[in-house]
Amino acid sequence: MNEYYAHLTAHNDKITASTGTRPQFFIRTYGCQMNSRDSEKLSALLTQLGYAEADSQETADLVLYNTCCVRESAENKIFGHLSRLKNIKETTHPGMIIAVGGCMSQQPEIAETFSKSHSYVNIVFGTMNRHRLPQFIWSVIENGKQIIDITEDDDLPELDSVPVTTRDYPHKAGVNIMYGCDNYCSYCIVPYVRGRERSRPAADILHEVTALVADGVKEIMLLGQNVNSYGKGMDISFPELLRQINNVPGLKRIRFMTSHPKDFSDELIAAMAESSNVCKAVHLPLQAGSTRILEDMNRHYTQAQYLDLARRLQEAMPDVALSTDIIVGYPGETDDDFEATLEVVRQVRFASAFTFIYSKRSGTPAATRTDLVPRKVSAERFERLTGTLYPIMDEINQRKVGNVLPVMVEEANGDTAKGRTDDNTLVHFDTVDKVITPGEIIPVRIETAKTFYVSGVIA
C-alpha cells in the first residue's frame, strides 16, 4: 500500500497547493456497528491521504458507500441512492469518484451487476481488501477504468493501525476484536461476505483501547460477529480479555456485541458480574423460539437452553437488560413455532429487540426453500410479536420512574440533554441550567417513561 499511499498523497497535495482547498470525501454507512467502525477507519485513512471530509455527497470528489447485505431491502435502498448519485456525477460533478465497499459488494453476483450495469461506479471492493483503497483510487486517477476487486487478502492490522480522530460521539468508540463468522446460520449471508473467524491479538486491542481513552473516550464497544468465540487458537478467551480491558485506567464503560447464545459461558457471566466497568446489558439474538426452527436455522441451541442462559444471566446480574434479534416468517414456520417464540418473549422479558420479517439471501441454504410463509401471515405474526414485546418494554421502563440513574451524556443542547444508562436505556433530561458535556456521568431522576425511552431531570 505504501507506494500508492505516496502517489495519492502527493497528488492531493498538488491539488491543494493549486486550488487552496483539499479534495473532499463523503462516506455513507449502512448496516451494523462493525460497518460504522470500518467507516471510521476508512475516513481516517482518507484524511491521511490528503482528503477533507465533505458536508454532503453532492460536493464531494470521492463518495464511498460502505454497504450492508443482511436484507434485500438494504441492497435495494443502496442501488436507489447510487442512481441519484449517478445523476449528480453526470450533471454537476463529472470528476467524482464513486466507490462501493462492504458486505454487499463482497458478493460475486453483486460485483458482476456493477460490472455490467453500473459503469459509473469507479471502484467496487469487498470486506477483506479494504486496506487497498489507496491503490484502487490511484488506479482510477491514473487510467480511469472501473476497478472491481473482491479478493480475500485482508491484512487486518494494516487498517486497524490507522488512528481514528473523528467519531459521531467523541466519548464513545467501537473496537474490533475479531472478524468473520464460523457459524453459518442457514439464513445468514455474513460468513460468506466477512469470511472465517479471525481474532486480533489481545495486545493490539489493549493498545487501541488505551490510546482511545487517552483521546477522551469513556465508553468502548467491543465488536465482532460472535465476540464469545474470541481467542480460539490463542492463549486468551473473551472473558479474560474483558477483565483486562476492565482494568484500563480512565475507562468508564465497556459494552460488547454480538454474542451467540451457544458460546455464552458461565465464565463470561462471572466476568461480567465481577467487572465494575462492564455494562450490565447483553444483546443475545434469539432469532426464533421454536427448537425445531432453531435446528433448521443451524443455531446449535434449543429453546430450553436459551431460557436457561437467560435465567443464569438474570440470577447473576438481577439488573441486567437483555436485548435480542427475532426473525418472523422463517421458511416452514408454523403457528405453533411462532407461539414458541412468543413464549420466550414472555418468559425472558426483553428490554429491547430488533424484529424482522424473513428476507431471503441468495447463496444461503435457506434461499433454496420452497415452503415459504405467505407475506400476509408473516405480517400478521410480526404485529403479534411487537404487540407482545412493546408492553413488556414499556413496563420495564415504567419501573424506572422515581429512581435516580447514572446517565452517560451523549448530547447536550441548551437546557436539554440525552444519554444512556448502564443497561442502555435512552434517557432525555432537563439540565436545570447546569453545564454538562458528553462523556460525563450524571445522576438523573426519572419522571416519565415511554416504550423506547425515559425522561427526567438532573437529581
Give yes or no: residues 61 and 133 share one domain.
Answer: yes
pLDDT digits (tens, 9 = 90+) for 436-450: 999 999 999 999 999
- Report the relative pairing of strands 253-257 and 454-458 from DSSP bridges: unpaired
Residue 24 and residue 101 in one domain: yes
The pLDDT assigned to 75 comes to: 83
Residue 164's pLDDT is 67
Residue 202: Cβ within 10 Å count: 19
Q: How deeply is 210 buried, as exposed, middle or buried, from its count of CB atoms within 10 A (0-12, 13-18, 19+)?
A: middle
Is the residue at 51 inside a domain?
yes
Could you tell me the CATH number of the domain that includes residue 102? 3.40.50.280
**Domain membership flag for residue 262:** yes
**For position 209, which CATH number holds?**
3.30.750.210
- How many domains would you assign to the chain? 4
* Residue 158 lies inside a defined structural domain of this protein: no
- Give me the amino acid identity at 7: H
Looking at the fold, whether 291 and 380 belong to one and the same domain comes out as yes
Q: Is residue 157 part of a domain?
A: no
Q: Look at residue 155 and tell me if it is in a domain.
A: no
Closest CA to 37 of 160, 158, 152: 160
Query: Global pTM?
Result: 0.87
What was the pLDDT predicted at 151? 84
**How do the pLDDT tens digits run along the chain, 459 residues long?**
578 889 999 999 999 999 999 999 999 999 888 888 889 889 999 999 999 999 999 999 999 999 988 777 778 889 999 999 999 999 999 999 999 999 999 998 999 999 999 999 999 998 888 888 999 999 999 999 999 998 876 555 456 666 665 567 789 999 999 988 999 999 998 888 888 898 999 999 999 999 999 999 999 999 999 999 999 889 999 999 999 999 999 999 999 999 999 999 999 999 999 999 999 999 999 999 999 999 999 999 999 999 999 999 999 999 999 999 999 999 999 999 999 999 999 999 999 999 999 998 888 999 999 999 999 999 999 999 999 999 999 999 999 999 999 999 999 988 999 999 999 999 999 998 888 999 999 999 999 999 999 999 999
Domain termination residue (choose one: 232, 256, 279): 279
Q: 312 and 249 share a domain?
A: no
The predicted structure's pLDDT at residue 154: 52
Specify the pLDDT at position 333. Answer: 98
Let me know whether 121 and 201 are in one domain.
no
Residue that is last in its domain, among 279, 301, 325:
279
Query: Tens digit of pLDDT for each residue in 140-197?
Result: 999 999 999 988 765 554 566 666 655 677 899 999 999 889 999 999 988 888 888 9
Q: Which amino acid is at 159?
A: L
Same domain, 31 and 128: yes
Amino acid identity, residue 42? L
The pLDDT, as a whole number, for residue 414 is 84
Domain that holds residue 115: 2-149
Query: Using omega within 30 degrees of 0 as the cis cutoff, is the peptide bond preceding 258 cis?
Result: yes
Mean pLDDT rounded to a whole number for the chain: 93
Q: Given 279, 305, 326, which residue is the final one in a domain?
A: 279
Q: What is the pLDDT of residue 31?
A: 85
- Burial status of residue 99 (CB atoms within 10 A of its CB: 0-12, 13-18, 19 or more): buried
Give the domain CATH number at 408. 2.40.50.140
392 domain residue, yes or no: yes
Cα separation, 125 vs 148, in Å, equals 6
Q: How far apart are the first and last CA of the chain?
A: 53
Report the candidate in 289, 267, 304 with the shortest Cα–Cα distance to residue 341. 289
Is 29 part of a structural domain of the chain? yes
Query: What's the grid cell of residue 377?
Result: 401471515
pLDDT for position 194: 84
Length of the chain equals 459
Q: Which tens digit of pLDDT belongs to each residue from 223-263? A: 999 999 999 889 999 999 999 999 999 999 999 999 999 99
Task: Look at residue 261 and tell me if it is in a domain.
Answer: yes
Q: Which residue type occupies 199? A: S
Query: What is the per-residue pLDDT for 160?
Result: 62
Are residues 373 and 444 both part of a single domain? Answer: no
Tell me if 448 sits within 8 A of 431, measured CB to CB: no
Chain center to CA of 46: 21
CA distance 362 to 324: 24
Residues 321 and 350 in one domain: yes
Q: Does one domain contain both 236 and 329?
A: no
pLDDT in the model for residue 157: 47
Distance CA 289, CA 343 (A): 7
From the CB of residue 235, how many other CB atoms can be counted at a distance below 10 Å?
A: 7
Asked if residue 265 and residue 209 are part of one domain, the reply reads yes
Rounded Cα–Cα distance for residues 53 and 57 (Å): 10
Same structural domain, 13 and 116: yes
17 and 90 housed in the same domain = yes
